Structure 1
């Protein structure tokens, strides 16, 4: 094995941990309110408490982060073409997260203002909250980690076949020696073997 390949194999754990951490951060921040409010009077504050945070959230952001978490889970336990395909999907999802963050914060602010206007509150200012910046940070780190995964994934270690589901491996081809051994042990090699649990 060449030295560059060995070096790329060592990147598996750091990149996977970065990807999982960034997706987890984005999943938490994507379900929180991205916009905070300030009102001009006590009566306005009482109305703000009635609105809740639903208008200031971006549901798509949290959903994309959960999809990214699922992609990382698949990348960790699969091999070959499936693994490469899911890594590519994770890169697309992480890029969509950045776009959602940029476009979603404006729509969350506008939607909250519209809801408050319907309630008769017109002197309210909004500002971008800390959860938006947490989501954007997670999304940017997700783009970096998935891009590295797509580039280095062919050199990463794969889970062994012993973890495959029973029956996933091709059946063992019996040789003439196996047939003679079966006869010596008193078994008829022409009969179909039934494994425990088979119907």
Structure 2
């Protein structure tokens, strides 16, 4: 009987990994300014690309996403290795997210103060930071379930494997066609007679 955890777990894992990979390449914080100072804040932000990001999150999100793709088309011990790699990537994402929660706003605020810009600017969380957290809620449990329940999950059949040649066997070779008979010395009348009768004039009877 098929394990009922397969479908929901794979869907949750793919959704979480896709969301994590996308959110990992976006700004997790943004710079806001009161009144008419937002234009200056936007100019500063555009000239500091990546300041509001956690670079490792995007790479780990792609690893987690790739692990689900490989897991669906692999079998045996290799499949368990891939599931373990995906779990490590998702745990790494969780560590990066927590690190960002504790340090990212303060780090960006320090950069803003160091630039000696207008007072009153503040660093706020974006929706991408929240979505990255939601992705982890889906992704980490999905990888844990995958690693535990993997032996009971269906695997791709062997019919999708590349054909192999067994040791000691040789591939069948199609027989070469017999050479056509030379009609240069035949009577043209006999050739046309054979054609009229529906016979191939190039075929000769065996002696």
Fold-level match, TM-score > 0.5?
A: yes
Q: Which residue of 2 aligns with 1:18?
A: 12
Q: 2:22 aligns with which of 21, 28, 33?
A: 28
- Whole-angstrom CA distance in 2 between matches of 1:61 and 1:30: 5
Q: Which structure would you say has the larger Rg?
A: 2
- Give 1:7 deviation, angstroms: 5.4
1:158 counterpart = 2:158: no
- Give 1:194 deviation, angstroms: 7.4
Listed one character per residue, the Cα deviations across residues 78-100 of structure 1 (whole Å, up to 9, x for unaligned) are 00000001111111111111111
Assess, with a 3 A threshold, how the Cα gap between structure 1 residues 41 and 118 changes in structure 2: closer, same or farther. farther
- Whole-angstrom CA distance in 2 between matches of 1:97 and 1:140: 11
Q: Which residue of 2 aligns with 1:3?
A: none
Root mean square deviation of aligned Cα: 2.3
Aligned length: 170
1:104 counterpart = 2:100: yes
SS in 1 for 2:123: strand
Assess, with a 3 A threshold, how the Cα gap between structure 1 residues 158 and 172 changes in structure 2: closer, same or farther. farther
Matches within 5 A, 1:16-165: 16-42=10-36, 44-50=37-43, 51-52=45-46, 54-121=50-117, 122-165=119-162
What TM-score does the superposition give when structure 2 sets the normalisation length?
0.74
Mind listing any 5+ residue stretches in structure 2 that lack a counterpart?
Answer: 175-207
Listed one character per residue, the Cα deviations across residues 31-58 of structure 1 (whole Å, up to 9, x for unaligned) are 111112221342x322211222521111
Does the CA-based 8 Å contact 2:13-2:143 persist in structure 1?
yes
Does the CA-based 8 Å contact 2:2-2:154 persist in structure 1?
no
What TM-score does the superposition give when structure 1 sets the normalisation length?
0.76
